[in-house]
Structure formats: structure tokens, C-alpha cells
Structure 1
Amino acid sequence: MIPVTKQEFLLLLQNGLSGLPKADLEERINFYSEMIDDRIDDGLSEQQAVLEMGEPEKIISQIILDYPFIKLVNQKIKPKRKLTALEIVLIVLGAPLWVPLIIAFFAVIFSVYISLWAIIISLWAVFASFVACAFSGIICGIAFCFTSHKLTAVALIGAGLVLLGLSIFVFYGCKAATKGILQLTKTIFNSIKNSFITKEEAL
């Protein structure tokens, strides 16, 4: 849905961010409301001002991505009302069950994050080894040129040049893989954050 009025745009933002703390939600709604008003004051129509804001879905995703994860968790587990004595007792008694589950959940997230970064580091280590071997071969080949081992010199220089050429392809492969893994990491954490956002209908 593409909003054409300020009210529609702000309503979409409010629905998409309804899981945020009230103060933070109001701050972001007021921010975009003022931005639209400023553009209208500059001579744009309401529809043009709204279109300049961009797609609400992308704005919502970016806000959630930038929002501190701990605050989302605190907001999610924060009681909506004062707990009764019975509820407090049940929570305490159930702690041996839900505390390990929470620890396991964060342990899985952390292990996935570390694993993805380990892949990135490994890929760039391969690239570095290609470059190091290439220059080592070329340097050793040049050194052998001043000896009687001319064929060895040619072989080393040739191997070094081949590795240097291959390192270019490895570089672009590492660059693409790094970009993909970072995007995957972003998507995973954005999905996790979205799971803590309860999208409710705005009143």
C-alpha cells in the first residue's frame, strides 16, 4: 500500500512500530510528521511530501534494525499490569525451565553470529595467502635469476604471476561473499527483532 496522505503514512508507521515503547513510538511518529510538514511548508503538496519520505515498510524495517535489541526484549517481557502474588510465585517456580531456554536462545544467536564472522575471516585469510604466495614466488624467482637455476626462476615467477591473477578473482569472490554474509546477518537480526514487535491495529 502506497500512502497518499500524511495521516495514512503515519498510521502505517504506527501500526508497524506498535511494539515499541510508547515514548519511542511517539518520538518517531512526531519526527516524520514534522518532516512532512516542513516539505509542505516548502511548497510541496501533501502527496509529494509523503512520497519523498519513502516506502513505510522500508522505514519500519530500518527503524527496527537500528533499535537497541535489549530495549525490545525489555519492552516485550515488561508486564502490562502489576503482577499478582500467584503470578510472581509461578514465575519463580518456573525459572528453572524458562531461564535455561532464554540462555540457550541467546547462545544460539551468538554462535550463529560468530560462525558467520568466522566464514568471513577464513575467506579473507585465503585471499591473503594467495597474495603472500604470489609475491613470495615472484621474489624468489627474481632471486634465482642471479643463479644458475634459470628454469626454476621462470617457474617461480610464472607461478607467482598465476597466483597473483587468481588472487584478483579471489578478492572479488571474498568481497561478494562478505557482502552476502553481512546482508544475511542483517536479515537474521532484523527477523529476530521483528519477532519482538507486536503489530497491532492502531486505534
Structure 2
Amino acid sequence: MSRNRIEFIKELSNQLSYIMKPNEVKELVDYYDEMILDLMEEGLSEEEAVSRLDSPEKIKESIKGTPLEINLPISKKFSPYLMALLILGFPLWGSLLLALALIILSIYIVIWCVPLTTGTIGFAGLVGGLVGTVFSPLALMDGFHIGITQFGLGLLLFGIGMLATLFTVSISKKVIVKSQNLTNHLKNQLLFKRSEKR
């Protein structure tokens, strides 16, 4: 059964309205409408362009209970002027893209500076305190007070290292959550802009 574009769009909207939200229906219908127009630009008639697509019933069945994935054998035209513009404008948009990437990287570095710093202090304190405490008896040969001082400083360093390590573990959990939230936010912004362009 041959349909024109309007009939196809109306029937597709009607079929999808039972299984999808209105905004999702509109997005999918607009997508198929754009595909039909692209095929018509390639020289096909309206009925031929519609016949290239699955029927509204098949489209409805294909997306029931599954993520929306649309695979159509449609070749998009890419203007050579656009390619030339992208190449000529690369010094501008390339540097802006690099700057944006470095800004995002610097945000992650700043976020992780605190646990990295406290982790380094914790490691140094634990190792230094352990070494100082274990080898303090050797310092007794230089004097009793020197050995006791080294033993005390070793315990102090070990305690500071332990506290710094515990703080690092605690703050790292929060930093991981912050990093995940930032990553998800950036990902959502990127996907949202891409869906808007469609």
C-alpha cells in the first residue's frame, strides 16, 4: 500500500501514541519526516521515499520494549563547501576545542588535588614514622635522649600519616562522587545538544 508523506506521518504518530510519550513521538516523527525529505531531495518521488521506510506498524513493533535505534539506508549529503569551511576554520575551532578540553582537565585536576596531597602526606608519614620508630634503638648509641627523640618523632609521623590516610579515604569517596556527577553533567549536556540539532 503506497502512502504519501502526510499519510505516513499521521499513521506513524497514531501508532506510536500508544507506546511512547508525546515528546518522544514528536522527536521520532520529525526524524522520519526528515528522512523522507532527504530521499526526495535525492530524486525519489514522495511515494517512493515513503516505501523505502518500514511501515508504521513495523516501526511500532520494532521499538516496543527496546531502546530507540533507527537504522536507515540513507546517505547524507556533505557539502564540499562545509568541508572547506571546517578545514579553514580549524585553527579557530580547534584551539577553542583544545582550550575547552584543557579547562575540563584542569577541573578534574583541581578536584583530585586534595586527596592526592593528603595521600602523599599519609604515605610519607607512615613510611617515615615506621622507619624512624624501628631504627630508633640504633640512635641510642648516639645518646639516650637522641634515641627517645627519634622514637617520639617516629610515632608522631606515623600518627600524622595514619590520620592523613584516613582523611584521604574519606575525601576520596566524595571526590569520586563529584567526578561522576561532573562527567554525567558534561555527557548529558553533549547528548542534549546533539539531540537538539537533530
Cα distance, 1:93 vs. partner?
A: 6.8
Determine whether 1:143 maps to 2:174.
Answer: no
Determine whether 1:134 maps to 2:125.
Answer: yes
Paired residues of 2:125 and 2:162 also in contact (CA < 8 A) = yes
> Per the alignment, do residues 110 and 29 of structure 1 end up closer, same or farther by CA in structure 2, a change over 3 Å counting?
farther
Higher relative contact order (CA 8 A, sep 6+): 1
Determine whether 1:106 maps to 2:106.
Answer: no
Paired residues of 1:124 and 1:174 also in contact (CA < 8 A) = yes
Paired residues of 1:20 and 1:197 also in contact (CA < 8 A) = no
Cα distance, 1:164 vs. partner?
A: 0.8
Count residues in correspondence: 147
Q: How is 1:31-50 mapped onto 2 (pairs within 5 angstroms)?
A: 33-34=64-65
| Structure 1 vs Structure 2 CA RMSD | 4.2
Q: How is 1:65-144 mapped onto 2 (pairs within 5 angstroms)?
A: 91=82, 94-95=85-86, 98-119=89-110, 122-136=113-127, 137-144=129-136
Task: Give the Cα separation in 2 of the matches to 1:128 and 1:105.
Answer: 34
Matching residue within 166, 169, 172 for 1:174: 172
Task: Give the equivalent residue in structure 2 for 1:72.
Answer: none
Paired residues of 1:141 and 1:156 also in contact (CA < 8 A) = yes
The amino acid of 1:138's aligned partner reads: L
Give me the TM-score of the superposition, normalised by structure 1. 0.52
Q: Which structure 1 residue ranges, 4+ long, deviate > 6 Å from structure 2?
A: 17-23
Task: Give the equivalent residue in structure 1 for 2:40.
Answer: none
The amino acid of 1:132's aligned partner reads: F
Task: Give the Cα separation in 2 of the matches to 1:164 and 1:101.
Answer: 50
The amino acid of 1:142's aligned partner reads: V
Give me the TM-score of the superposition, normalised by structure 2. 0.53
> Per the alignment, do residues 102 and 196 of structure 1 end up closer, same or farther by CA in structure 2, a change over 3 Å counting?
farther
Determine whether 1:13 maps to 2:24.
Answer: yes
Gaps of 5+ in 2: 1-15, 36-52, 70-75, 141-146
Percent identity between the aligned chains?
10
Paired residues of 2:125 and 2:159 also in contact (CA < 8 A) = yes
